[in-house]
Chain A
């Protein structure tokens, strides 16, 4: 056990827990209302929103998984870059409109918006369930980041005793989320991001210096890993998979319930617009983190006797923690590991709040207890946030890790199928709700089938067309099918006069 690193790690973790509980009193509102507990009262300004969205989207799992992918697969792992470049120009106009209409009608979730826009509880239910299902494995994966760094501190993470530190971390997370709601991750995100930036900047300066510059690092990587393989015999291979994975992931990112929650908690539409300008700072850091994968490869730490056992147990996921352990003094290792662990708490808290908001608003209130009071609604959301986290914990403790990874991969494909209802709805009421439901079902069914073909291990599907083979992200192919079905069905439903034109919103609700 690494005593100094553990002491620093535990001290930072305790400090964060105190901050989480204390933040209930920060800009205090009436906590009997769901928009106070679940959206922080929609009062976060530009800076807090920047930290919150950054802490929410660039998760601890990302910090561990992206260098791991580059370490193991080379150029393909760099798709995280085009992915995050694409996001902000695409959402520039879309999400401020969603914020405005949500404020006007007190919508807390994207499903609230869909229910109002289309007057269709069934479509809203489909969107809500998709969101919850896609979020659960994502929460579970955040635990992986914590597990890897706890292992790196020298504790065994195997057997039931090995899960004890993880359980402690999650009990703390559950407790402060319960009392403080979205204010907790918002305040913690500020500290977490500072720790992450310090760690990444130190790594990106020290490691290349010790390895003799980037030239040496890249020279140590096998040539075939550095670039996407060339097109061969009409098979586009990674050349089509890479951009479609980046594009599809970018489209999916903002549809996740935890993204909606962070976006709707901003103070106003211009707060969001300003954030699109400055959020790429996180993407740049992610790019540097991706390069850590190559540094870990070039440094040969995976074969060093003191680190090899970790790589044997955690695989490429130990690339980033391994670099910290090898090149830095123990106290700094404590800071870096705390950054990863706290970096897991922020998104896990927001995800559980988002899932709780969805369940409470679009399942409990819509179907089980429509007459519930504001206070009852908020109590229900707080309770569900506990259940959701407990479920994620059981998932990680009792099921193999590969299940969580595969389900998260599938979750991306599923959440993308909510795009036609949500994003089209922000601009037009042309689509019919039943048609959108059909499109959603078709996209889901095909997407799950396509993913099952390769045992849910990868998210690519090779389309054979006109003598060409075009491998692409399954979610994107499913989305095309989804749109085609929704358009055709809308036209047919209009023709037979069976359309439902209910709409709780008017054009003026979207401008501002």
Chain B
């Protein structure tokens, strides 16, 4: 079984981006722009849920070699 690579600075930044995005309250604590009637505060945090999965997937691809088992 090949061993996954260690996380480097780039991977840490990629993992940190979704975390920072949902903690910067002053940036998203507002009603506009709303989408389909959903205020910014709500859709911004909702959108970051699937986006966090995308960022994690990118890091996974970078550090786990294909076919490295369970």
Contacts and interface: CB of A to CB of B under 8 A. Distances in A.
A226 B41 contact: yes
Contacts of B7: 92-93
Given A243-B25, A270-B69, A89 B15 contact: yes
B49 A84 contact: yes
Contacts, number: 122
A280 B53 contact: yes
- Chain B CB count within 10 A is highest, among A88, A219, A271, A274, for A88
Contacts of A85: 18-19, 21-22, 45, 48-49, 52
A371 to B, nearest CB: 34
Interface in B30-57: 30-31, 34, 36-39, 41-42, 45-46, 48-50, 52-53, 55-57
A247 interface: yes
B10 interface: no
Interface in A71-93: 75, 78, 81-82, 84-86, 88-90, 92-93
A218 B25 contact: no
A508 to B, nearest CB: 11
A18 interface: no
Q: How large is the interface on A (under 10, 10 to 19, 20 to 34, 35 or more residues)?
A: 35 or more
Contacts of B45: 78, 81-82, 85, 287
Contacts of B53: 88, 277-281
Interface residues of B, number: 39
A280 B19 CA distance: 13
Contact of A287 (B18, B46, B57): B46
A246 B19 CA distance: 10
- Chain A CB count within 10 A is highest, among B36, B53, B59, for B53
Nearest to A90: B19
Contacts of A276: 56, 60
B50 A274 contact: no
Contacts of A242: 25
A219 B45 CA distance: 19
Interface in A411-440: none
Given A89-B15, A284-B49, A267 B70 contact: yes
Nearest to B30: A227
Nearest to A93: B7
Contacts of A86: 18-19, 22-23
B5 to A, nearest CB: 11
Interface string B3-32: 110010000000110110111011001110
Interface in A339-382: none
Given A93-B7, A270-B70, A287-B46, A213 B41 contact: no
B34 to A, nearest CB: 8
Contacts of A45: 70
- Chain B CB count within 10 A is highest, among A82, A279, A284, for A82
A511 interface: yes
24 contacts: A75-B41, A81-B45, A81-B48, A85-B45, A85-B49, A89-B55, A92-B59, A93-B7, A213-B36, A214-B37, A226-B41, A228-B25, A239-B26, A243-B23, A268-B70, A269-B70, A270-B4, A270-B64, A270-B68, A280-B52, A284-B49, A287-B46, A291-B42, A512-B4
Interface of A: 45, 75, 78, 81-82, 84-86, 88-90, 92-93, 96, 213-219, 226-228, 239, 242-243, 246-247, 267-271, 273-274, 276-281, 283-284, 287, 291, 511-512
